[in-house]
């Protein structure tokens, strides 16, 4: 039973997935999207299991002080930190509007011209965008708040921190002529995946590490190319020859040597390379169809696990 | 059009005295299910038309309105009654006295007997002249869904609509202004369609070739399965050195007392390459259990990890060594590509596995993994259908399963006649495709006939 139920479900869903590709009716598409949503929910649950597995694998190694156990501590602590930073803690203490608006009578020159005035009272490191006017700092060099004279009516106002991870003030004010609207905003720090801490960790720790790993690829390519291009046999010699021509054709020196070399390089890419690529793709596509059929028809069951 | 399409020739007479500027117009108009198979989904309506007299250089505004054939809720006015679908109509859009579109235009007062009468505008003032419209703008009860250059040739327009209600379309020729979307004059008669609902098709005919490929594979598969029952020994399957090497490599690991590292690729379990990798993992796990060698399985996604853990357990169970199974050796590492690569590289450098098996879908990390494996002297077997990564694996690994070999491996390892039939079916299908390719080349070379476009229109 432990295998039969998943097998039957697998066959049913597999046959449906195959059939839905050929049925254009929107009801079928809707059902497919629903099933995909279920899949996403299942995958989300699997992340909990993944987190448990992470602890199960690493904690014993730390406890037993296995080789490089210190790195395991770094990994577990880093995972915990990202989890903590990814939760929306600000929901616990932040509520209400991101800013307040006070309206008063204006007796200045703007009022005489039938215009309204908007004053932004916010910290200096905050940017302000009012209507179609360009964004500017909330305070000038002398520390005076940004002031805008606008036509009366609905005016969009956005106050935001230059750095991501803070709460924006984004509202449309309705201002009457000869009125002065003072918007007081102090963008609060957010938590969660759009929050300051998460973004900082991502931008200043994860992204550089990621870029470093990617950059290492260049050295791996050199090392692998050195071995691959050795003239061990006829095939390797052909590979070396083709590689030299393609590399020269792609570099400025290729055109300097001869335009024919550039054409030859392009020909190698377009004709023999493309033919081989398509042959691999076609073979892989047929293999994929056959493998899918094996699974859908229930002939392959090893993925269903133990009884 | 796949289904019957009503074709209407709307003939408008010369305009009345009040509209002397209006010229005689003839329209040929049709409406129905779109030609494209994936748009025959009950959410698309195709309209097409030809303005036979195209003396005036105009654009045509395509308008749509919904017809509520049941009582419906309007958030402004509350419940409203069901409507009768308006009649087919046509007439000039009166821009001189009332520069508006309105309800009579849409409610069917313009009928064949109203020939030549101007369309009266009574509902909801909408400034038209000089106003600039964009697709999606409401114009009275209509919604502007397109502005099409009309040179007198047949024009077509596919509209996506919510399924269920009926829709009426209006085609309004206008003289465009300097600004994009600006309407400055309506020199010709507008026409209004009958009410129609989007229709649906049961089968996407554009994909018949794909369906026939799958059907052919299934038929060949079943045919070879029958054949395998009686003549299994005579079925020749070519050797795949990379697969044969797996058992040797596991034996080497046993002799050296080092683990086997198995990487399931860097894609979700929904990818067929990952599935193929997991199917092979079962056989590899069984072998390692029989050889009493440790296997470590690295996964990029937790769902893959969960399935891989079950598969490895099954492999150990099949070998009668369930007690030797260590669940913690099947690991979820991280869902980040390069962090995953760094972690596996760390494992390779620390544990120095004697065998690395990289099967599944790989991207830029393929070379990082295989080069690190080379550094520690591991026997490496890789396999992927990702052709951009194949050169890296070929350069850095001892054996590489190329494309279809990845899918064939599981069947090859079982040696079960039923599964071997899959390989034979694949080979037979490839032969047929080769014949098709040659036929296509000949047809294109000698007759300029594009067979590919016929077989796969979309």
Is the pLDDT score of B86 beyond 80?
Answer: no
What is the value of ipTM here, to two decimals? 0.86
CA-based nearest residue in chain A for residue B314: A306
Q: Angle at Cα A123 formed by Cα A117 and Cα A129, nearest 5°?
A: 45
Q: Pick B190 or A123 by higher pLDDT.
A: A123
Determine contact: A208 vs chain B, CB below 8 A: no
Collapsed DSSP state (helix, strand, coil) of residue A294: helix
Is the pLDDT score of B108 beyond 90?
Answer: no
Is the pLDDT score of B110 beyond 80?
Answer: no
Nearest-by-Cβ selection for B338 from A18, A50, A213: A213
Q: State the CB neighbour count (10 A cutoff) for residue B231.
A: 11
Per-position DSSP letters for A237-280, written without gaps between them = HHHHHHHHHHHHHHSHHHHHH-HHHHHHHHHHIIIIIHHHHHHH
What residues contact residue A74 under an 8 Å CB cut-off, 6+ apart? Answer: none
Collapsed DSSP state (helix, strand, coil) of residue A172: strand
Is the pLDDT score of B13 beyond 80?
Answer: no
So what's the pLDDT on residue A96?
Answer: 79
Mean pLDDT of B240-245: 91
Closest CA to A284 of B402, B357, B218: B402
- Out of A142-151, B10-19, B122-131, B278-287, which region has the weakest mean confidence (pLDDT)? B10-19
Collapsed DSSP state (helix, strand, coil) of residue B323: helix
Give contacts of A298 with chain B, Cβ < 8 Å: none
Confidence of residue B140 (pLDDT cuts 50, 70, 90): low
CB contact under 8 A, A53 and B411: no
What residues contact residue A28 under an 8 Å CB cut-off, 6+ apart? Answer: A20
Closest CA to B365 of B385, B336, B394, B405: B336
Determine contact: A221 vs chain B, CB below 8 A: yes
Q: What is the pLDDT of residues A260-286, one digit of tens each?
A: 999 999 999 999 999 999 999 999 998
Mean pLDDT of B190-195: 84
CA-based nearest residue in chain B for residue A226: B395
Confidence of residue B87 (pLDDT cuts 50, 70, 90): low
Instruction: List, in sequence order, the alpha helices (H) in B234-271.
Output: 241-256
CB contact under 8 A, B395 and A50: no
Is the pLDDT score of B285 beyond 90?
Answer: yes
Confidence of residue B116 (pLDDT cuts 50, 70, 90): very low
Q: How far apart are CA B343 and CA B369, in angstroms?
A: 10
Give contacts of A247 with chain B, Cβ < 8 Å: none
Q: In what order do the strands lie in the sheet with A153-161?
A: A136-137, A126-130, A153-161, A169-175
Q: What is the pLDDT of residues B338-389, one digit of tens each?
A: 999 999 999 999 999 999 999 999 999 999 999 999 999 999 999 999 989 9
CB contact under 8 A, B410 and A22: no
So what's the pLDDT on residue B190?
Answer: 80
**Count of CA atoms in the C-beta half-sphere (13 A) of A28:** 20
Question: Which residues numbered 270-299 in A keep a CB inside 8 Å of some CB on B?
Answer: 277, 280-284, 286-295, 299
Collapsed DSSP state (helix, strand, coil) of residue A99: strand
Extended strands (E) in B364-417 = 379-384, 399-402
Give me the total of CB pairs closer than 8 Å, taking one residue from chain A and one from chain B: 205
Nearest-by-Cβ selection for A302 from B311, B404, B426: B311
So what's the pLDDT on residue B179?
Answer: 82
- Tokens in use for A73? 């501590």
In a mutational test of the B interface, the residue from A286, A293, A299 whose CB has the highest number of chain B CBs within 10 Å is A286
So what's the pLDDT on residue B121?
Answer: 37
So what's the pLDDT on residue B126?
Answer: 46
Q: How far apart are CA B53 and CA B27, in angstroms?
A: 8
Mean pLDDT of A30-54: 92
Question: What's chain B's average pLDDT?
Answer: 83
CB contact under 8 A, B200 and A46: no
Q: What is the pLDDT of residues A122-161, one digit of tens each?
A: 999 999 999 888 999 999 989 999 999 998 888 999 999 9
Mean pLDDT of B412-425: 81
- Out of A128-132, A231-235, B207-211, B304-308, which region has the weakest mean confidence (pLDDT)? A231-235
Confidence of residue A307 (pLDDT cuts 50, 70, 90): low
- Out of A11-15, B3-7, B446-450, which region has the weakest mean confidence (pLDDT)? B3-7
Closest CA to B5 of B27, B28, B31: B31
């Amino acid at each position: 039973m432990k295998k039969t139920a998943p097998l039957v479900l697998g066959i049913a869903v597999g046959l449906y997935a195959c059939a839905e590709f050929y049925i254009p009716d929107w009801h079928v598409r809707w059902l497919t999207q629903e099933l995909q949503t279920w899949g996403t929910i299942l995958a989300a649950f699997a992340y909990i299991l993944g987190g448990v597995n992470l602890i199960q694998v690493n904690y014993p190694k730390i406890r037993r002080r296995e080789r490089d156990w210190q790195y395991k501590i770094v990994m577990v602590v880093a995972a915990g930190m990202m989890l903590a930073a990814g939760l929306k803690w600000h929901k616990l203490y932040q509520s209400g509007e991101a800013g307040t608006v006070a309206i008063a009578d204006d007796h200045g020159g703007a009022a005489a011209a039938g215009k309204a005035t908007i004053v932004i009272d916010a910290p200096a490191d905050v940017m302000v965008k009012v209507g179609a006017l360009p964004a500017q700092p909330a305070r000038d060099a002398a520390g005076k708040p940004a002031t805008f004279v606008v036509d009366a009516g609905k005016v969009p106002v956005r106050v935001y921190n230059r750095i991501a991870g803070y709460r924006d003030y984004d509202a449309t004010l309705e201002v009457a002529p000869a009125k002065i609207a003072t918007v007081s905003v102090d963008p609060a720090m957010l938590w969660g995946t759009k929050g300051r801490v998460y973004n900082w960790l991502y931008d200043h720790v994860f992204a550089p590490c990621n870029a470093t790993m990617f950059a290492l690829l260049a050295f791996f390519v050199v090392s692998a190319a050195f071995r691959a291009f050795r003239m061990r046999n006829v095939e390797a010699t052909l590979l070396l020859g083709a590689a030299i021509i393609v590399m020269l054709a792609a570099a400025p020196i290729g055109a300097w040597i001869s335009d024919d070399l550039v054409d030859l390089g392009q020909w190698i890419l377009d004709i023999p390379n493309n033919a081989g690529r398509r042959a691999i793709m076609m073979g892989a596509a047929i293999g994929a169809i056959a493998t899918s059929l094996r699974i859908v028809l229930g002939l392959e069951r090893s993925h269903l696990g133990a009884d | 059009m796949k289904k019957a399409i009503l074709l209407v020739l709307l003939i408008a007479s010369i305009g009345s005295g009040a509209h002397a500027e209006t010229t005689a117009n003839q329209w040929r108009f049709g409406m129905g299910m779109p030609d494209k198979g994936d748009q025959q989904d009950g959410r698309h309506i195709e309209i097409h038309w030809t303005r036979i007299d195209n003396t005036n250089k105009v654009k045509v505004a395509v308008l749509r309105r919904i017809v509520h054939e049941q009582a419906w809720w309007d958030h402004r006015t509350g419940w409203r009654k069901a409507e009768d679908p308006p009649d087919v109509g046509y007439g000039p859009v009166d821009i001189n006295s009332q520069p508006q579109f309105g309800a009579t235009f849409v409610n069917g007062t313009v009928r064949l007997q109203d020939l030549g009468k101007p369309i009266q505008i009574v509902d909801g003032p909408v400034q038209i002249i000089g106003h600039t419209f964009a697709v999606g703008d409401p114009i009275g009860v209509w919604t502007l869904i397109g502005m099409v250059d009309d040179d007198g040739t047949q024009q077509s327009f596919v509209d996506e609509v919510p399924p269920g209600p009926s829709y009426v379309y209006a085609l309004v020729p206008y003289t465009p202004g300097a600004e994009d979307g600006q309407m400055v004059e309506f020199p010709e008669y507008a026409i209004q369609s009958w009410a129609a609902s989007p229709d649906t098709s049961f089968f996407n005919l554009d994909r018949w070739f794909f369906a026939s490929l799958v059907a052919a594979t299934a038929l060949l598969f079943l045919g070879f399965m029958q054949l395998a029952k009686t003549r299994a020994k005579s079925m020749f399957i070519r050797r795949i050195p990379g697969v044969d090497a797996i058992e040797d490599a596991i034996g080497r690991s046993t002799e050296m007392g080092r683990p086997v590292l198995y990487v399931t690729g860097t894609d979700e379990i929904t990818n067929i390459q990952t599935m193929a990798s997991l199917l092979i993992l079962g056989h590899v796990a069984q072998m390692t259990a029989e050889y009493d060698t440790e296997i470590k399985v690295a996964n990029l996604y937790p769902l893959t990890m969960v399935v891989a853990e079950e598969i490895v357990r099954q492999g150990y169970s099949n070998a009668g060594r369930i007690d030797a199974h260590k669940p913690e050796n099947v690991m979820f590492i991280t869902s980040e590509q390069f962090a995953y690569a760094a972690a596996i590289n760390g494992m390779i450098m620390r544990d120095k596995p004697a065998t690395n098996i990289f099967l599944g879908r790989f991207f830029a990390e393929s070379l990082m993994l295989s080069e690190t494996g080379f550094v520690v002297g591991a026997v490496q077997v890789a396999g992927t259908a990702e052709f951009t990564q194949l050169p890296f694996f070929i350069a850095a690994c001892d054996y590489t399963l190329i494309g279809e070999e990845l899918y064939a491996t599981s069947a090859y390892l079982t040696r079960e006649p039923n599964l071997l039939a899959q390989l034979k079916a694949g080979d037979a299908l490839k032969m047929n495709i080769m014949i098709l390719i040659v036929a296509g080349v000949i047809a294109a070379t000698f007759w300029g006939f594009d067979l590919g476009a016929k077989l796969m229109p979309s």
